[in-house]
Amino acid sequence: MASDRDFFSFLGPLHLSTVDWNNEHHRRSVAASLVQGVYVLERDRQQNRKGLESLASPWWEFFHFQLVLQLRDDVDSSIFGSIYEFKPPACNCHHSIQEAPRYVIAFRGTVINPNSFTQEDLRLGFLFTINGLHETSRFKVSMQAVKNKVDAAGALNIWLAGHSLGSAMAMLAGKNMAKTGVLLQTFLFNPPFSSAPIEKIEDKKLTQVIRITKSFITAGLAVAVKGHQSEDPFVVLSPWIPCLFVNPADDISSEYIGYFEHREKMEKIGAREIEELATRNSIRNLLLRKTETEPLHLLPSANLTINLSPSPDFTRAHGIRQWWRPDLHMHCKLYQYRWKWR
């Protein structure tokens, strides 16, 4: 039986009958809706909803997108991503239409239903926590799809979008492309942060002490394990500025709030060089001697949006549907990584 969450007519952003592509709230809502379309595609598959019974298409057709490719997992054949092409009607003469993407590559997060769920989603979630997502067949399929579209259409015509585990997939793809000089517009909804949720500690003075202590320990370990390295991987990645959307009540993504705020605090107390080392390393990776790649969840730059609207429970705080609500109370801030030439 279909859940109400799958019906666009019930929960979709119906208020966006006309999209202003210069409006960041409209852009965010459309990107989130396209990600939701991937979730519903997979639930259509799981529940064998076909033809007139399928519910996914309104999530993209409402905004004049067409589904051009489903991305399927080699392990369990689940649909984990979609590539959409923007096909506006000839009568659409809105002045901002030139700012619309030609293609959007969207990735869903974990699908867990009472009667069916994909074990592969859970396995990939675990691999994310140990920085192993880049070795999976699902990511290899994703990366190839992104490269193919960039080669065919150009970076300026492509958006990446993802939610939860899907945002980790989009983040990794975006990072890989940025290392080659290709900067893709990227929307990361509730991206997982692979670290203890220090942000949830109510005593903010204690939180600050823990963060400062952690920074000094991380920086010390980095020097002991990696030595003094002149090359800073964050310098290469810093021009790429993905849009991060997090909720303080979401234990999975809320740590990004403190992660970026702490950088500024360390600079104010004169500990910038310590934080430059700490911010691009993780204690877990250093202890395990996994130093060949930077941890996936660590980012040099981001446009961080925090949903300050009340969230009654974790499910809503981590859910995708909050990001197309027209009445959000949000705080937005740009964090641009800066470095010193030595």
Are 266 and 274 in contact by the 8 Å Cβ rule? The answer is yes
Cα distances (angstroms) measured from residue 67 to each of 76, 84, 94, 139, 290: 21, 5, 23, 20, 39
Span 325-342, mean pLDDT? 83
What share of the chain in percent tops pLDDT 90? 53
* pLDDT tens-digit readout, 239-265: 999 999 999 999 889 989 988 987 777
Note the pLDDT of residue 340: 57
* pLDDT tens-digit readout, 152-201: 999 999 999 999 999 999 999 999 999 999 999 999 999 998 766 666 66
Are 243 and 303 in contact by the 8 Å Cβ rule? The answer is yes
* pLDDT tens-digit readout, 258-292: 889 877 777 777 666 666 666 666 656 655 555 55
Note the Cα 16 to chain centre separation in Å. Answer: 23
Note the pLDDT of residue 115: 46
Mean pLDDT (the chain) is: 83
pLDDT band at residue 116 using 50, 70 and 90 as cut-offs: very low
Span 142-146, mean pLDDT? 95
pLDDT band at residue 315 using 50, 70 and 90 as cut-offs: confident
Task: Using the predicted structure, report yes or no on whether residue 106 has a pLDDT greater than 80.
Answer: yes
* pLDDT tens-digit readout, 64-98: 999 999 999 888 889 999 999 999 887 766 678 88
Supply φ then ψ for residue 160, to 5 degrees.
Answer: -110, 145
| Residue 206 amino acid letter | L
- The closest of 262, 246, 254 to 335, measured between CA atoms, is 262
Span 324-333, mean pLDDT? 94
Higher pLDDT residue, 322 or 298? 322
Task: Using the predicted structure, report yes or no on whether residue 125 has a pLDDT greater than 90.
Answer: no
Span 140-145, mean pLDDT? 94
Task: Using the predicted structure, report yes or no on whether residue 117 has a pLDDT greater than 60.
Answer: no
Task: Using the predicted structure, report yes or no on whether residue 342 has a pLDDT greater than 70.
Answer: no
Higher pLDDT residue, 99 or 230? 99
Task: Using the predicted structure, report yes or no on whether residue 232 has a pLDDT greater than 50.
Answer: yes
Q: Is the dihedral of CA 166, 324, 182, 253 positive or negative?
A: negative
Alpha helices in the chain (DSSP H): 8-11, 24-46, 58-61, 119-129, 137-153, 165-178, 204-226, 233-237, 255-268, 272-278, 283-287, 314-318
